[in-house]
Structures are given as C-alpha cells and as structure tokens.
Amino acid sequence: MKQSIKISIIAVVAAASISITSCSKKDTPAPATAVEDTVSTYYGTVELAYKKSTNADPACFIDLSNGHVYKVSEAAAHAGEIDMLWGTRTATPDQKYFISTSDTYILNAAGASDDLWKESNLFTGWSKRNVTMMDNFQAVNFDDVKTRSQFNTYTSGRSGILTYLPFDALADQQALSYYYDITHNGVKYIGVLKITQADLADGYAKFTIKVIKA
C-alpha cells in the first residue's frame, strides 16, 4: 500500500513537471516596442565675423552636428568639430555669407581692409578644416519635423552643392531653409539650419538645426 502511494506521488510530480515545461516552451516574449527614429534638434546664436573694430572675438563658428558655437579665440582648439562660420566676403564686404570652414576663396582678397575678419585671422593654428556642402530651399512646417521620414520628406532628396551661401539677414533669406551635409570622424550627418531671428546691425542670428546621421 505504501509503495503504491509513493509511486502515485512520483507520477503526479512528474506530470506537473512536464506540464510546466510544456507551458514554458510555448511562451514567447512580448515583441519589442519600436523606437521612433527621431531627429536631433539644437538651438544657438551665431555672431557675424565682419569688422574687428566692431567685434574683437565673434562667436562666428558653428558645429553643425550639435549646434555648438565657438568664438575665434576658441576655434583652433575645436577645429575638428567646426563646420561653418558666418562672415563677409573681403572683396565686397557688404556681402555676408554662411561659409564652409574648408573654403579658401570667399574670405580672401588682395588689398582688403585690415579691419575685416579674413582667413588669415580666422583660421590661425587650425589642425584641419572640415568640408561642409550646402544648399538653400523653401519648405514649410520645419518645426513639425521630428522623424527621419519627415526629415527626408522636408528635404526632398536634396544634396549639398556649394561651400558658401549668401546670408545678409534679409527677410527673404530668413524664410529659407539651409541644407548641409558634413562628416565628423568618419560619421556623416545631414541637417537643416533655420534662422529664427537675425539683426545685421547688431551682428547676430538665432538659429535652429535639425540633424540626422546619414
């Protein structure tokens, strides 16, 4: 009798074990929650590198991967991070431009006033100069761009074609979007810079950039 009870208990335990094992094999983990592919958004204020007598150390350089702005005195130490500056064409100083740090033409002119910020002053001691290719275009609903898909729709397959673009803080220029593509340490980024407020007389422009890794 005791032997029979013992065998029955073993049989029940074995059956329960098989049942638990069977259930665990059929269980599947819940599907991972999809992560929305967001666009990074940054804000900043860039200053115009025009006359030294007006601004002796303008914060004219921008890192277009994160919106960080650097003064001329800070720039050489961050040469590998900086992509663009806001400056003037020395041949015709009344014309202001967004300029790739790789450009060696727009900031140079024979006989230019020593009071103008030019290449020889702006890039002293730089170890490298990043290439930034740019274009400008018209589009709406910039603030609504939050995903890669929306970014691609907004830029509509655009590519960078120039190393400098005019920007004199005029109303029609502020209405434009400024597309760019850059590379930092082998990583390519594409982005759009949008001016939210600018004053040429005071030499500043507030901007927003939206960036994705290409």
- 73: closest CA among 57, 62, 87, 60? 57
Determine whether 129 is exposed, middle or buried from the number of CB atoms within 10 Å of its CB (0-12, 13-18, 19+). middle
Cα 166 to Cα 116: distance, rounded to the nearest angstrom: 17
pLDDT in tens, 184-211: 999 999 999 999 999 999 999 999 999 9
What pLDDT, on the 0 to 100 scale, is given for residue 36? 53
CA 169 to chain centre: 21
Residues 6+ apart with CB under 8 A from 204: 45, 46, 47, 48, 198
Q: In 155-182, which positions are buried (b, 16+ CB within 10 angstroms) versus exposed (e)?
A: beebebeebbbebebeeebeebbbbbbb
Cα 51 to Cα 131: distance, rounded to the nearest angstrom: 25
Q: Which structure tokens are listed for 195? A: 């001016």
Residues 6+ apart with CB under 8 A from 212: 39, 40, 148, 151, 189, 190, 191
pLDDT in tens, 102-150: 999 999 988 899 999 999 999 999 999 999 999 999 999 999 999 999 9
- 165: closest CA among 96, 71, 65, 64? 96
* Model confidence pTM above 0.85: no
pLDDT in tens, 17-68: 444 444 433 444 444 444 457 899 999 999 999 999 999 999 999 999 999 9
